[in-house]
Amino acid sequence: MADDAPAPSLSPARRAWLRFKRNRLGYWSLVVFCALVLVSLGAELVSNDRPLVVRYEGQTYFPMLHDYPETTFGGDFATPADYLDPYVRQRITTGGNWALYTINPYGANTLNYFAKAPNPSAPSRDNWLGTDDRGRDLLAQLIYGFRVSVLFGLALTAVGVVLGIVAGAVQGFFGGKTDLAFQRFIEIWGSMPELYLLIIFSAIFAPSIALLLILLSLFGWMGLSDYVRAEFLRNRQLDYVKAARALGVPNGRIMWRHILPNSMVPVVTFLPFRMSAAILALTSLDFLGLGVPPGTPSLGELLSQGKNNIDAWWISIFTFMVLVVTLLLLTFMGDALRDALDPRKADV
Amino acid sequence: MTPEPPLLQVRDLRVAFGAKEVVHGVGFEIRAGEKFALVGESGSGKTVTALSLLRLAGEAEITGQALLDGRDLLQLRERDLRAVRGSSVAMIFQEPMTALNPLMSVGKQVAEVLMLKQALSKAQSAQAAIELLDATGIPEPARRAASLPHQLSGGQRQRAMIAMALASRPKLLLADEPTTALDVSLRGQILDLLADLQRQNGMAVLLITHDLLMVRRFAGRVAVMEQGRLVEQGDTARVFEAPEHAYTRRLIASTPRRDVVEGEAAADAPPAARAQGLRVGYPVALPGVRGWFGKGEFVAVKGADFRIPAGRTLGVVGESGSGKSTLAQALLGLLPSSGALEVVGQHWRQPAPRNGAHNQGLRRQVQVVFQDPFSSLSPRMTVQEIVGEGLEVHAPELPEAERRTRVLAMLAEVGLAEAQFPGLLARYPHEFSGGQRQRIAVARALILQPRLLVLDEPTSALDVTIQQQVLSLLQRLQRERGLAYLLITHDVAVVRAMAHEVIVMKDGEVVERGGVRQVLDAPRHPYTQRLVEAARPVDQR
């Protein structure tokens, strides 16, 4: 310890990060996962049925920002231009005009009326991963579906973590009757049949992502709150909390500044696992048809299509691969995080 | 007559964890039936040395030789080593509660060893277990044998563990801090028990401890360890009378020195704290159905009276469970109490844990330093956040720069300077040693300029050489600032060095009180007598 004294002092969180980085698999999983999320966040720039820029007869158009009628490009109809239409395509790419298409020229819900093969079509030069049974491009579906899954997972995890921490902190810190009442409430709440509630609610309300998020959040916080409660129960009787009480530090501040930072290990450790559980939950519900409203790109819905079109192997295989890779990356990160936060591991 | 070969011969023992070597070539011998002590401060490698003899030190890399009856323990296969553990060599640990199986009666645990190692039948071993428990001085051994570990007192648990270690009739007993977790008055008894058993069974004992007093009472020969090296070994009497190595000399010389303002405090000055008929109780669950409807009350302090003049120290002595820590918490306003309890002339507004304006004002006047500097500082806060917290709560109007200046000044006063620790304020507690952490804890307590400081075993968790430094710091602060201390401790030497007056507590009541000399030199209550007796070096008895 003595020889590294001149080094700037590192906070416990920073040291944990250094330990995390030392786990190559976990670190690279994080890098790859972040890259995938970034790409999917900019999905419109990667996979879109409209070109990014069109230069047509001396004028520049941005079809992604504005709707242009087909007549703009010399077509016959006043309807918005279909840029996959071979006629439009030919007009805007020949004779000094040019158009910059995205890498994958399909959006999540683009139906290609000019496809050469019947739906679902196998991977080809036009559709790199094939199409689904409605003729939508599978690659585009996967990109947008991944985005929905990850964002949903993040949101569900965030809400669950906040609720879980607050509930656990209140129980653990105040203990006694508060704790007792809360524990009984959790027991009752936890024994409600979650899936049936979802089915009932999806029958009453129009299905939407927000509704799903609310329903799943209502039940998602309980596991975490138990861990936070246990940490708070342990930490609140340590001497540094007593010293803070003797200083007259208010309860809220003791919870926030003293106990919470020392109770975050189980929370952070579980984050990737919770997120993969959330993604899996959404996928399962979509598979059952109880999830996101029709028309939303979704991995679960693709899996269900794969089941219904067992001959169209590309639907099941590629969706399955995306899911496996996503969950695997999250699990690797979770393992690395658990090691990084293990108090028994020394810094080397 | 040729001298017998030694029972255990350790040569050039090196232990490394990863790239870090913690024991650098240690060698010593233990003869059959000898009482040998390995003494050193925490981190000196004494426990690791003992554990590596049985290859119990986790993932450590061990090199060297440890010959037991001519067989090298470090070269044995795991199977053969398991036969050695617990039969030729047995071990007892510091904390009996964690070393015993909590779900098995102690009688069964001892009998299990007998069945395994001496091949006795079930009935025989049960009977033999009771005899062993009896030999270790557990009263009513037949009934106690059926008790689970948590139903025994701390001393009885340690005795049960000794019985377990003896069950295999070991030639060598490794005792790792066997009395540290026990109450002071019990330590002498356990040590005497070990000595008796050692004589009767003719086994050798390797005692690992940091307590010089124990070494002196117990061991025939002693080896002193410092930072993974043996700096000195020899007969105990010789080492204590004529220590050769500088470190040994420093260790022996580091008994607490008294350096406080003596004489009567001015009678007219208002006392820093005063209690009259102070009673503290807290609710406990009642057993059975009654517990559903109401709570019982456990009264931890039953009517304590005391007075702490400004600039003086009141020592509070008592065994664990006597209510002394509860008393301190009531004084700090962390527990509700009844009866009169004044701090600088003002009462706590009950219930005291509530942070009203009046109580907040009082909190500035009384602060606390705890025993364990590792649990008393939040590991995720910087030194500035820890020390400056009091100012943030009580003087939020202070500008950031001013707060910083005050924190730095306070740290300098407790002996932590920016020059010595670059970036001091941004550092985290794990970068400091035990003594330095205790200084940070003192700085946190003093930043609000309190008049009274509660010291809850402030030096028990520190090494002897550090202990003296922290005590000097506390004595200096008392002289310079006129601080009053309430000092809770079981260490007679610390009381002698610090206190002006002493109260002795037992089962929530004050059983003896008086000036420090009077109480410690002529104790009247049996508990006080035992305590003082246990702390007296052998040659003065």
- Could you give the CA distance from residue A332 to residue A329 in angstroms, rounded to a whole number? 5
CB contact residues (below 8 A), chain B span 214-273, against chain A: none
Q: Is the CB of B363 less than 8 angstroms away from the CB of A248?
A: yes
| Residues of chain A contacting residue B363, judged by C-beta atoms under 8 Å apart | 246-248
Instruction: Average the pLDDT over each of A73-87, A214-228, A232-246 and give the range with the smallest value.
Output: A73-87
Interface test with A, best of B22, B326, B389 (most A CBs within 10 A): B389
Instruction: Average the pLDDT over each of A47-51, B184-188, B209-213, B460-464 and give the range with the smallest value.
Output: B184-188
Give the model confidence (pLDDT) of B421-449 as tens digits: 888 888 888 888 888 899 999 999 999 99
Select from B213, B171, B172, B169 the least CA-distant residue to B191. B213
* Token pair 């301190």: residue: B328
No. of helices (H) and no. of strands (E), chain B: 21, 20
Cβ-nearest to A348 among B18, B363, B380: B18
Instruction: Average the pLDDT over each of A72-86, A259-273, A299-313, B358-372 and give the range with the smallest value.
Output: A72-86
Distance of CA A62 to the CA centre of its chain: 29
- pLDDT of B116 higher than 90: no
Q: How close does chain A come to B242, measured CA to CA in Å?
A: 33
Among chain A residues, the shortest Cα distance to B453 is held by: A246
Task: Provide the pairing of β-strand B172-176 with B204-209.
Answer: parallel
Cβ-nearest to A243 among B333, B359, B444: B444
Q: By percentage, how much of chain B surpasses pLDDT 70?
A: 97
Q: How close does chain B come to A222, measured CA to CA in Å?
A: 26
What is the per-residue pLDDT for B265? 67
Distance of CA B465 to the CA centre of its chain: 15
Find the length of chain A.
Answer: 348
Coil, strand, or helix at residue B504? strand
- Could you give the CA distance from residue B91 to residue A152 in angstroms, rounded to a whole number? 56
Q: Is the CB of A238 less than 8 angstroms away from the CB of B375?
A: yes
Per-chain mean pLDDT for chain A: 87
| Residues of chain A contacting residue B382, judged by C-beta atoms under 8 Å apart | 11
Contact (CB, 8 A) for B264 and B310: no
What is the per-residue pLDDT for B537? 59
Residue B405: pLDDT band (50, 70, 90) is very high
Ranges A109-113, B64-68, B280-284, B501-505, most confident: B501-505
Q: Does B378 touch chain A (CB under 8 A)?
A: yes
Residue B152: pLDDT band (50, 70, 90) is confident
Interface test with B, best of A3, A9, A17, A22 (most B CBs within 10 A): A9
- pLDDT of A218 higher than 60: yes
| Residues of chain B contacting residue A346, judged by C-beta atoms under 8 Å apart | 18
Q: Is the CB of A248 less than 8 angstroms away from the CB of B394?
A: yes
What is the per-residue pLDDT for B266? 65
What is the per-residue pLDDT for A346? 52
Residue A8: pLDDT band (50, 70, 90) is low
Q: How close does chain A come to B106, measured CA to CA in Å?
A: 28
Q: Is the CB of B360 less than 8 angstroms away from the CB of A249?
A: no
Q: DSSP code of A71?
A: G
Its ipTM equals 0.78
- Could you give the CA distance from residue A19 to residue A33 in angstroms, rounded to a whole number? 19
What is the per-residue pLDDT for A158? 93
- Could you give the CA distance from residue A50 to residue A210 in angstroms, rounded to a whole number? 28
Q: How many CB pairs under 8 A join A and B?
A: 83
Give the model confidence (pLDDT) of B44-95 as tens digits: 888 888 888 888 877 778 888 888 888 888 888 888 888 888 788 888 887 7
Give the model confidence (pLDDT) of A148-168 as tens digits: 999 999 999 999 999 999 999
Among chain A residues, the shortest Cα distance to B361 is held by: A248
What is the per-residue pLDDT for B3? 63
Mean pLDDT calculated for residue range A23-49: 92
Q: Does A247 touch chain B (CB under 8 A)?
A: yes
Among chain A residues, the shortest Cα distance to B365 is held by: A247
Q: Does A249 touch chain B (CB under 8 A)?
A: yes
Select from B32, B25, B27, B38 the least CA-distant residue to B4. B32
Beta-carbon contacts of residue A144 (< 8 Å; ≥ 6 apart): A40, A43, A47, A107, A108, A297
Residue B487: pLDDT band (50, 70, 90) is very high
Cβ-nearest to B376 among A1, A239, A257: A239
Interface test with A, best of B365, B370, B378 (most A CBs within 10 A): B378
Select from A209, A208, A219 the least CA-distant residue to A160. A219
Per-chain mean pLDDT for chain B: 85
| Residues of chain B contacting residue A240, judged by C-beta atoms under 8 Å apart | 375-378
Tokens in use for B387?
């020390």
CB contact residues (below 8 A), chain B span 162-201, against chain A: none
- pLDDT of A317 higher than 90: yes
Of residues B2 and A81, the one with the higher pLDDT is: A81
Mean pLDDT calculated for residue range B107-123: 86
Select from A95, A73, A132 the least CA-distant residue to A314. A132
Which residues, in sequence order, are bridge partners of residue B297?
A: B283
Interface test with B, best of A22, A236, A239 (most B CBs within 10 A): A239
Find out whether the peptide bond into B351 is cis, omega within 30 degrees of 0.
Answer: yes
Task: Provide the pairing of β-strand B61-68 with B8-17.
Answer: antiparallel
Among chain A residues, the shortest Cα distance to B378 is held by: A240
What is the per-residue pLDDT for A225? 92
Assign residue A271 a region: left if phi > 0, alpha if psi is -120 to 50, beta otherwise? alpha
Mean pLDDT calculated for residue range B295-315: 87
The upper half-sphere exposure of residue A118, i.e. CA atoms within 13 Å in the direction of its Cβ, equals: 1
Q: Does B377 touch chain A (CB under 8 A)?
A: yes
Interface test with B, best of A235, A240, A258, A263 (most B CBs within 10 A): A240
- Could you give the CA distance from residue A2 to residue A162 in angstroms, rounded to a whole number? 40
What is the per-residue pLDDT for A344? 59
Cβ-nearest to A246 among B332, B375, B385: B332
Q: Is the CB of B379 less than 8 angstroms away from the CB of A262?
A: yes
- pLDDT of B541 higher than 80: no
